[in-house]
């Protein structure tokens, strides 16, 4: 490792400390990142209209005021390492950062700039501190960088990072703590601005067996050609001994598709589904289930590999290459998000369309989920079926399952009044909590049998003009 750490450097370059930095140097070396100069990619104008950008700017603006007399640069980057913004009162530091191209519009991931604070934080999805000569590129040796990744508080997707940079000779004891505080405040502010949206549950790294046996009273639903085509493609790849990655939106049914294909390809196998953990829990999580890869009667689904730290993806790829008896299957939100180490061993990538592009699947899945919830057949009235088919399902099959289970627990014959307000409204802007309560009350009144818009206005104490305006404002689809 010392030889690699010194590759392309002058004599006397420091030994890299810690396994994360060592792994980052190895990746930087494999990427061909320059060691003697800073030469990042310039992408030009960056987007500034996202909730993440607005909230991050607000948080960093407040932090900058408390550091007014300190030579510290505060930066916001996107998930690919592109610098979105930079704030610093110290002119000398600003001029130096400009000469190093550590400025808005430039990319500073490990691939472009080698080991650096923000690149390591994004690669490992963990808070990172890189001091002076720990940087892979000598052009960054003058700096100490602390960076913390920021994830979407609702959906859990990596959005970017908060990065604090100062001179390498300065004390870095508080730098990482400040970056962690700023990242936490950004997530909290995003959740607050989301007006009551539920936070994404903390990933726990569950590993469990997938039960693929169909119950006699709940046979598998007959789904659309889009689903069957994707299923046949995965099954064909597995039969040929190829590793498969299934990509698509969250909740679209990626694991279900792989489970069905694995069950057909290897009907006697047990199937383990390993969901990614928090970055700090990754090592014990890998230790827990990777020995199963060496068993001939076990198939493994590594779900959400796009959330794995780079070092974990590299280790997993090595284990699969040297020990796996069966081809591993993985899921991710898109093909380009599969970590490079794993993408090299994934032979076939299949995309599953979101539920809104598979309208013929909606009622079949709804009846299936309803039957499983009630242990007997659940029917949907024409109005309820039409409502389900025309809703846009932002959280896909996972959301449909939840909605149907709640409705089926109220009745064996589901009507619009049994459905939650969220599916009776079209796409709209994010609502405040008060607006959400108002919308839900209007929907509840309109869903009652025989209730007209006029009658709902009377019940709610509104004029007819007001309730019609509210129906349009909230995108409420009135039952016919």
CB atoms within 10 A of CB 463: 10
pLDDT score, position 69: 82
Is 74 in contact with 60 (CB distance < 8 Å)? yes
pLDDT score, position 400: 95
The yes-or-no verdict on residue 144 having pLDDT over 50 is yes
DSSP β-ladder status, 379-380 and 207-209: unpaired
Rounded Cα gap, residues 5 and 338, in angstroms: 27
Domain 207-353 has CATH 3.40.50.300: yes
188-227 tens-digit pLDDT: 888 877 655 555 565 666 777 776 554 444 467 889 899 9
Rounded Cα gap, residues 267 and 265, in angstroms: 6
pLDDT score, position 228: 93
The residue ranking higher by pLDDT, 433 or 413, is 413
CB atoms within 10 A of CB 48: 12
CA-wise closest residue to 223 among 335, 361, 342: 361
Rounded Cα gap, residues 408 and 395, in angstroms: 19
The CATH number corresponding to 2-193 among 3.40.50.1100, 3.30.450.40, 3.90.550.10, 3.40.50.300 equals 3.30.450.40
Q: Is 79 left (phi over 0), alpha (psi -120 to 50) or beta?
A: alpha
Average per-residue pLDDT for the chain: 86
416-454 tens-digit pLDDT: 889 988 887 765 555 666 777 788 788 878 877 778 888
Work out the percent of the chain whose per-residue pLDDT is above 70. 89
Domain boundaries, the chain: 2-193, 207-353, 356-474
Is 186 in contact with 148 (CB distance < 8 Å)? no
Encoding tokens for residue 396? 């896909």
Span 356-474: which CATH code?
A: 1.10.8.60
If you average pLDDT over residues 258-267, what whole number do you get?
91
Is 238 in contact with 327 (CB distance < 8 Å)? yes
Please, which pLDDT band fits residue 102 given cuts at 50, 70 and 90?
Answer: very high
Encoding tokens for residue 4? 């690699």
Q: How many CA atoms lie within 13 A of 114 on its CB side?
A: 25
162-188 tens-digit pLDDT: 999 999 877 667 898 899 999 999 988
If you average pLDDT over residues 119-143, what whole number do you get?
94
The residue ranking higher by pLDDT, 333 or 68, is 333
Weakest-pLDDT range from 175-179, 195-199, 259-263, 398-402: 195-199
Please, which pLDDT band fits residue 16 given cuts at 50, 70 and 90?
Answer: low
Query: Is the whole-model pTM more than 0.85?
Result: no
């Amino acid at each position: 490792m010392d030889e690699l750490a010194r590759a392309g450097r002058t004599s006397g370059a420091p030994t890299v400390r810690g396994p994360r930095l060592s792994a980052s140097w190895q990746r930087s070396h494999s990427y061909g990142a320059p060691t003697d100069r800073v030469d990042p990619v310039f992408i030009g104008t960056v987007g500034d209209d996202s909730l993440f950008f607005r909230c991050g700017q607000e948080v960093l603006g407040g932090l900058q005021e408390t550091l007014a007399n300190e030579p510290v640069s505060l930066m916001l980057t996107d998930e690919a390492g592109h610098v979105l913004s930079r704030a610093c009162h110290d002119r000398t530091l600003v001029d130096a950062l400009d000469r190093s191209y550590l400025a808005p519009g430039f990319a500073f991931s490990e691939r472009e700039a080698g080991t650096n604070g923000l690149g390591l934080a994004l690669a490992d999805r963990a808070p990172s501190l890189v001091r002076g000569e720990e940087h892979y590129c000598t052009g960054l040796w003058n700096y100490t960088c602390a960076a913390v990744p920021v994830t979407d508080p609702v959906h859990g997707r990596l959005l970017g990072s908060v990065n604090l940079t100062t001179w390498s000779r300065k004390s870095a004891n508080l730098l990482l703590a400040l970056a962690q505080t700023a990242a936490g405040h950004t997530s909290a502010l995003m959740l607050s601005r989301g007006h009551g949206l539920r936070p994404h549950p903390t990933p726990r790294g569950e590993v469990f067996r997938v039960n693929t046996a169909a119950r006699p009273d709940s046979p598998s639903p007959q789904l659309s050609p889009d689903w069957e085509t994707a299923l046949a493609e995965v099954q064909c790849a597995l039969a040929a001994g190829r590793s498969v990655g299934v990509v698509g939106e969250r909740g679209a049914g990626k694991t279900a598709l792989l489970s069905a294909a694995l069950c057909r390809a290897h009907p006697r196998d047990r199937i383990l589904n390993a969901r990614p953990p928090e970055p700090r829990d990754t090592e014990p999580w890998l230790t827990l289930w990777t020995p199963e890869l060496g068993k001939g009667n076990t198939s493994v689904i590594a779900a959400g590999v796009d959330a794995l730290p780079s070092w974990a993806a590299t280790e997993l790829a090595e284990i699969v290459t040297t020990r796996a008896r069966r081809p591993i299957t993985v899921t991710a939100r898109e093909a380009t998000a599969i970590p490079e180490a794993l993408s090299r061993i994934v032979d076939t990538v299949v995309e599953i369309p979101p539920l809104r592009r598979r309208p013929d699947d909606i009622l079949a899945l709804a009846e299936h989920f309803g039957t499983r919830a009630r242990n007997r057949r659940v029917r949907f009235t024409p109005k309820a079926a039409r409502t389900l088919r025309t809703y846009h399902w932002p959280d896909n099959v996972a959301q449909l399952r939840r909605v149907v289970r709640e409705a089926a627990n109220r009745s064996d014959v589901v009507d619009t009044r049994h459905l939650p307000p969220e599916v009776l409204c079209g796409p709209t802007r994010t609502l405040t909590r008060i607006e959400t309560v108002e919308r839900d009350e209007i929907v509840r009144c309109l869903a009652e049998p025989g209730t007209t818009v006029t009658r709902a206005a009377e019940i709610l104490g509104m004029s007819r003009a007001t309730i019609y305006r509210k129906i349009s404002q909230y995108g409420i689809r009135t039952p016919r």
